[in-house]
Every structure is written in structure tokens, then in C-alpha cells.
Amino acid sequence: MNQRPGIPIAKVAGIPVYLAPSWFVIALLVVVVFAPQVEVSANLLPPQTYLVAAAYSVILLVSVLVHEFAHALTARAVGLPVQEIVADLWGGHTAFTEQAPDPGRGALVAVVGPVSNAVLAALGWLALPAADGDVVRLLLVAGIYANAFVAVFNLLPGLPLDGGRLVESAVWGATGKRWAGVLVAGWCGRVVAVLVVVWFVVRPLVQGGRPTTFGLVWSVMVAVLLWRGASGAVAAGRVFRAADRLDLGHYLEPAAALPQSTTAWPSQTGHTVAVDELGHPVGLLRAQDARQLAAAPQPPGPNTPLSAVMTVLPSAVVVPADLDGDGVVQALSTQGAHLFIAVDETGRVVGIADSRQLAQALTGRP
């Protein structure tokens, strides 16, 4: 059973929404940083200042959730399954069970998040003249600036930001190769991570000033997050590039299927996949093992069933023999199998492939 990513707080169109424990860390940071501004701007004293600051953290949470709802509901509308929405230390994220099948849908799902924050900022701006009271006005202004910043920041052209998804989709659409889009957007994300530190830390120093403690901590944290996400994208792009060139047939070793109850000696020139009464793979007798058994001083008797000499399969997945590289990546990432059993269009077993060899071919690492 998968562990919940946090506290379940709602369901939107059947999509579970969670509040990760790490969100309370950023909420506490917002209260600590925002409370002194409340004291000056709204002429309040503790504990009212902390209550207003806590209300601001809730406004930020709502803004994040609106952003993620836009992603999730748009994905649902274009046929992409959504697993969950999580609000966490870094804001939030929407988890999908499948990737966008084409650049158009990928770009649409990406852009609606920042657009939703831009809409919230615009609505706040329009409501500002009617704001009654210093506290209401302060919260409204803070919400406007926060949503405007999130909209602009998320459109920066680099993964893992939404702007990076737009870069990925643009390159993908231009080249016809998804891996090219992921690689370019990943490297752009690394550049964005460096520019965040340059802008918030190096620039003040060059101008003769010094960055604030909050600005220093925040920019470094964000830069580390962006760098890690971008580096993951670069690694994924390299895997997709290798998958584009992968031929499963090159890694298949000949094999045939026999019932596990058979007493007929399997072929010693190919591997034998033992299947149960329903045709499900349950074991494997490799060709070299069959030869060793036949050459043993006391070989198994003629009535020995295949189940007595086979190796029980801890995990295996049946795939088409003509499975493409993207299909291999999907199977490796979701099935967790040690062995691939390839079948032809009629369902006949034609070969086996070791998932470790396939993973090494895709990643370049054992």
C-alpha cells in the first residue's frame, strides 16, 4: 500500500488533495517574516499580528491549490489521468500517472497554472479599491504580489517550472523528439537556478549592498530545488534519448513456453518458460541449466516435471516482442520486474530479456 503524502484535506473531481507536513514549515516561516510587517503596516500588536500573518499563509495555500487545481482539471479535460495534488514545503505539485502524449496537451496543462495565479492577482487588484480596513487591504496587497510573483516565476523557461514544460513542448513539437525537449528544458532549468542566486545574492553584493537573510536563505533553497529538478530532467532526457534508439529484439534470448507439469525434456538450445494452467509465467529453465542437468552423473528421471527443475520467477512481465523504447521505459518504471518475457502477435513466447541489461542500456550504468 502506498503511503499517503500528507494529511487528506479534500477531493476535487475525485482527485485527492493532501497537505504535506513540510507545508507547516513554510507556514511558520511566513508567520515569522510577515508578522513584523503587519505590526508596522496595520498598527497591530501581538498576538493579532501573528493571527494576520497566519491568515496570509492560508491565502498562500489557497493560491497554490488554485494553481494545482488548474493543472489537474485541465489534465483531466484533455484525457490525462491525475493521481493526487499535494501542498508542501515548495508550494505544491500535481502527480500524473501518465505523461502528456503530445506537445500541445503538455503545453496546455503547464500554462494554466501560472495563468490561474495571474487571474487571482488581477481579481485582487480590481477588488483593492473596495478594501475596507488596514488588515484587509494588507492581506489583499500581499495576495496580489504573491500571485503575480508565482505566475511570473513559474513561467521562467526551465524545468521543473511550468515555463520549462513550455520549452519542452516547443522543442518537442519542433523536432518531433520528446527527449530533445526534456534535455533542452533541463539545461535551461540549471541556468535559471544559477540566475536566481545571481539576482538575489550576487547582484546586491556587486551594487555595494548585502542580501537580506531571508533573501539569501530563500534564494539558495529555491536554487537547490531548481537545480535538482533540472538535473533530474537532464537524466530523464538522456534515458528517453537512449530509449529512442533501443531495439528490444537486440536484447532478447530465444525462449519457448511449456506447462510447468510437463515431463518432456525442454530444448537445450533455448530457454524454457514454465507456465501454469492459465498460461501465466511461473518459472524459467535456462538453456545452460538444462544442458548441465542432462550432463549430470545422475540426471533427472524421465517423469520429472518441469516445475521440479525450473527456477521460480520472483517477478516477470509479459511484453510484445516489438515493444518500442518508450514502452520499455514505462515497463521498467512501473512493473519492477526482473525479467521481460516477449511474445509475438499470437501470444506465443519467443524470447526473454533481463531487465537489468535493459536498464543499463538506457542509463549507461549497471
- pLDDT for 2: 58
Burial 55-75 (b: 16+ CB within 10 A, else e): bbbebbbebbbbbbbbbbbbb
Kindly state the average pLDDT of the residues 250-262.
Answer: 93
Cα 309 to Cα 47: distance, rounded to the nearest angstrom = 75
Q: What is the pTM of this model?
A: 0.81
pLDDT of 211 higher than 90: no
Q: Say which range, 282-291, 306-315, 333-342, has the weakest mean pLDDT.
A: 333-342
Q: What is the mean pLDDT of residues 302-313?
A: 90
Q: What count of Cα atoms within 13 Å lies in the side-chain half-sphere of residue 300?
A: 18
Mean pLDDT in residue range 330-336: 78
Q: What is the pLDDT of residue 127?
A: 94
- 216-232: average pLDDT: 92
Q: Higher model confidence: residue 313 or residue 183?
A: 183
How far apart (Å, rounded) are the C-alpha atoms in residues 141 and 123?
A: 11
What SS3 string covers the chain?
A: CCCCCCEEEEEECCEEEEECCCHHHHHHHHHHHHHHHHHHHCCCCCCHHHHHHHHHHHHHHHHHHHHHHHHHHHHHHCCCCEEEEEEECCEEEEEECCCCCCHHHHHHHHHHHHHHHHHHHHHHHHHHHHCCCHHHHHHHHHHHHHHHHHHHHHCCCCCCCHHHHHHHHHHHHHHCCHHHHHHHHHHHHHHHHHHHHHHHHHHHHHCCCCCCHHHHHHHHHHHHHHHHHHHHHHHHHHHHHHHHCCCHHHHCEEEEEEECCCCCCCCCCCEEEEECCCCCEEEEECHHHHHHHHHCCCCCCCCCCHHHHCEECCCEEEEECCCCHHHHHHHHHHHCCCEEEEECCCCCEEEEEEHHHHHHHHHCCC
Reported as a single tens digit per residue, the pLDDT across 336-350 is 778 899 999 999 999
Kindly report, residue by residue over 107-155, the tens digit of the pLDDT: 999 999 999 999 999 999 999 998 888 888 989 998 999 999 999 999 9
Across residues 47-62, what is the average pLDDT? 91
Positions of CATH 3.10.580 in the chain: 248-296+303-363
Q: How far apart are CA 201 and CA 328, in angstroms?
A: 44
Arithmetic mean of pLDDT, 84-97: 90
Determine contact, residues 364/270, Cβ cutoff 8 Å.
Answer: no
The C-alpha cell at 81 is 489521468
pLDDT band at 267 (very low <50, low <70, confident <90, very high): low
pLDDT at 1: 46
More confident residue, 215 or 226: 226
Residues 6+ apart with CB under 8 A from 136: none
Assign a CATH topology to domain 248-296+303-363: CBS-domain (3.10.580)
**Residue 31 or residue 40, greater confidence:** 31
What phi, psi does 99 have (nearest 5°)? -90, 160
Closest CA to 189 of 165, 217, 218, 215: 165
Q: How far is CA 36 from the centre of its chain?
A: 38
5 or 109, which is more confident? 109
**pLDDT tier at 268, thresholds 50, 70, 90:** low
- Reported as a single tens digit per residue, the pLDDT across 351-364 is 999 988 999 999 88
Q: State what percent of residues in the chain have pLDDT above 70.
A: 98
Which residue type is seen at 169? S
To the nearest whole number, what is the mean pLDDT of the chain? 90
Contact 237, 186 (CB under 8 A): yes
Mean pLDDT of 282-288: 92
Decide if 39 contacts 49 (C-beta within 8 A).
yes
More confident position, 216 or 168: 168
Name the residue with higher pLDDT: 231 or 214.
231
Question: Is the pLDDT confidence value at 308 over 70?
Answer: yes
